[in-house]
């Protein structure tokens, strides 16, 4: 059983007053802490200045008229690529859009299958379907919640054209094993880093190992602009196709003069509009500068929480994969020992924790055979193609 808590940035014991009502908060008692948690999402005066700059400019969109200054979209793309040590980044409206442009730029679509983890956010499967390919669900490792390399190997077939490897919740996936598997079988590797911005594997940032690294910048992710996403790659060809897919077959014009449109028609690829607005790009560009520091605080607090929980016997934290040198804790997860809670269902334990701590705790939502996820509820022709390879 798993529980997920929102952004644990500080964990401190609370002083208890004499008059405290000691019943569980869910039964009407006083919660163990009433201390406010750090605000999320967080911003700074620099974020506000960047937003005002966009507001007062006449370029709110990627294709707004050039005004002699670099667009925030281009600034963010350059800084996010360099943060990962890769040459290219294409910013998009969501993590789902990032997965879709990555697959399409790799030439993956009708007739192809893509391995996705059996426990992950539904968008991993629905984005594969949106690209015209079929998601094949693969079991995850219970201890890390990342896709199992052995199960992935067993799920390979001639139709499998890519692995969408998610670095899940509190760790990075086994990149050594998946790099070998994908190379041996001539299958593309797409790293989904939507839960692992800034995580390190063998000293390198995740997202830079696969053919493409994809990110969501939706509100719950550790780097966010409310909604948003990005795809990174070292390949100029893949980047060019992803850029055109993202912006209706157009490409940025570095030489646009003031007043001219910032994009030019190329038309080599039929795209659609998945462009990030300048407001979102401005937020991401500013917040990226604080990501490493915020991740270090989360990691320190998570390790402290791991140690406290080890003494209580109520559950075990997820295990880190070998070679994960910085975990980023999109959400703090633990596997509860439900017998320590008199066999109460996980939903009840989560509701009690939520009342006690003032943070939302929930079982992990996943694409599970017993779930109501739309990928598994065939409502149209697309969804009927879903293959369930998970046991």
CA dist list (Å): 354 to 33, 238, 385: 11, 44, 38
Nearer to ligand PLP, 96 or 262 (CB): 96
Specify whether the CB–CB gap between 248 and 271 falls below 8 A.
yes
Nearer to ligand PLP, 123 or 327 (CB): 123
Residue 213 Cβ vs ligand PLP, minimum distance, rounded to whole Å: 12
Exposed, middle or buried by CB within 10 Å (0-12, 13-18, 19+), for 382? Answer: middle
* Count of residues engaged in binding ligand PLP, rule: CB under 6 A: 14
Instruction: Tell me 274's DSSP state.
Output: -
Specify whether the CB–CB gap between 241 and 250 falls below 8 A.
no
Which range, of 77-85, 118-126, 263-271, 287-295, touches ligand PLP by CB under 6 A?
A: 118-126
Which range, of 139-147, 192-200, 203-211, 350-358, touches ligand PLP by CB under 6 A?
A: 192-200
Which range, of 119-127, 139-147, 258-266, 292-300, touches ligand PLP by CB under 6 A?
A: 119-127
| Residue 244 in the binding site for ligand PLP (CB under 6 A) | no
Q: Which of 120, 224, 233, 321 binds ligand PLP (CB under 6 A)?
A: 120
Q: Which of 50, 123, 161, 364 binds ligand PLP (CB under 6 A)?
A: 123
Residues of this chain, 37-66, that bind ligand PLP according to CB under 6 A: none
Q: Which of 50, 124, 161, 163 binds ligand PLP (CB under 6 A)?
A: 124
Which range, of 22-30, 191-199, 278-286, 314-322, touches ligand PLP by CB under 6 A?
A: 191-199
Instruction: Tell me 122's DSSP state.
Output: T
| Residue 166 in the binding site for ligand PLP (CB under 6 A) | yes
**What is the C-alpha to C-alpha distance for residues 328 and 222, in angstroms, rounded to an integer?**
8
Exposed, middle or buried by CB within 10 Å (0-12, 13-18, 19+), for 132? Answer: middle
DSSP track, 277-301: PHHHHHHHHHHHHHHHHHHHHHHHH
**What is the C-alpha to C-alpha distance for residues 79 and 59, in angstroms, rounded to an integer?**
20
| Residue 195 in the binding site for ligand PLP (CB under 6 A) | yes
Nearer to ligand PLP, 166 or 284 (CB): 166
**What is the C-alpha to C-alpha distance for residues 331 and 321, in angstroms, rounded to an integer?**
16
* Beta carbons within 8 Å of 322's beta carbon, 6+ residues apart: 174
Nearer to ligand PLP, 121 or 209 (CB): 121
Q: Which residues pair with 361 in a beta bridge?
A: 5
Q: Which of 64, 73, 95, 389 binds ligand PLP (CB under 6 A)?
A: 95
| Residue 280 in the binding site for ligand PLP (CB under 6 A) | no
Residue 141 Cβ vs ligand PLP, minimum distance, rounded to whole Å: 16
What is the crossing angle of helices 278-312 and 45-56, to 10°?
Answer: 160
Q: Which residues bind ligand PLP (CB under 6 A)?
A: 94-96, 120-121, 123-124, 166, 192, 194-195, 216, 218, 229
């Amino acid at each position: 059983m798993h529980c997920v808590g929102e952004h644990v940035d500080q964990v401190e014991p609370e002083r208890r007053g004499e008059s405290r009502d000691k019943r569980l908060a869910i039964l009407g008692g006083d919660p163990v802490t009433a201390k406010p948690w750090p605000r999320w999402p967080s911003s700074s005066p620099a974020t506000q200045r960047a937003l005002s700059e966009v507001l007062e400019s006449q370029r709110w969109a990627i294709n707004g008229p050039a005004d002699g200054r670099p667009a925030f979209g281009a600034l963010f793309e350059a800084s996010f690529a360099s943060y990962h040590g890769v040459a290219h980044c294409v910013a998009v409206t969501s993590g789902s859009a990032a997965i879709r442009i990555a697959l399409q730029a790799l030439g993956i679509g009708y007739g192809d299958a893509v391995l996705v983890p059996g426990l992950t956010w539904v968008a991993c499967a629905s984005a594969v379907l949106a690209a015209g390919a079929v998601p094949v669900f693969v079991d995850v490792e219970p201890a890390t919640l990342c896709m199992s390399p052995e199960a992935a190997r067993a799920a390979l077939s001639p139709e499998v054209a890519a692995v969408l490897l998610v670095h899940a919740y509190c760790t990075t996936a086994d990149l050594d094993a998946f790099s070998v598997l994908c190379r041996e079988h001539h299958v593309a590797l797409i790293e989904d880093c939507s839960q692992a911005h800034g995580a390190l594997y063998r000293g390198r940032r995740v997202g830079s190992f696969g053919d493409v690294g994809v990110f969501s910048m939706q509100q719950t992710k550790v780097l966010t602009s409310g909604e948003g996403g990005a795809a990174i790659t070292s390949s100029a060809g893949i980047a060019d196709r992803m850029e055109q897919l993202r912006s209706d077959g157009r490409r940025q014009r570095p030489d646009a003069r003031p007043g001219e449109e910032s994009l030019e028609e190329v038309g080599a690829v039929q795209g659609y509009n998945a462009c990030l607005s300048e407001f979102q790009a401005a937020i991401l560009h500013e917040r990226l500068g604080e990501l490493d520091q915020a991740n270090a605080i989360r990691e320190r607090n998570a390790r402290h929480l791991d140690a406290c929980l080890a003494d209580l016997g109520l559950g075990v934290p997820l295990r880190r994969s070998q070679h994960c040198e910085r975990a980023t804790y999109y959400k703090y997860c633990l596997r509860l020992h439900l017998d320590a809670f008199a066999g109460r269902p996980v939903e009840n334990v989560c509701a009690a924790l939520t009342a006690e701590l003032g943070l939302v705790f929930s079982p992990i939502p996943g694409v599970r055979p017993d779930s109501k996820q739309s990928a598994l509820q065939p409502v149209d022709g697309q969804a009927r193609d879903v293959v369930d390879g998970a046991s």
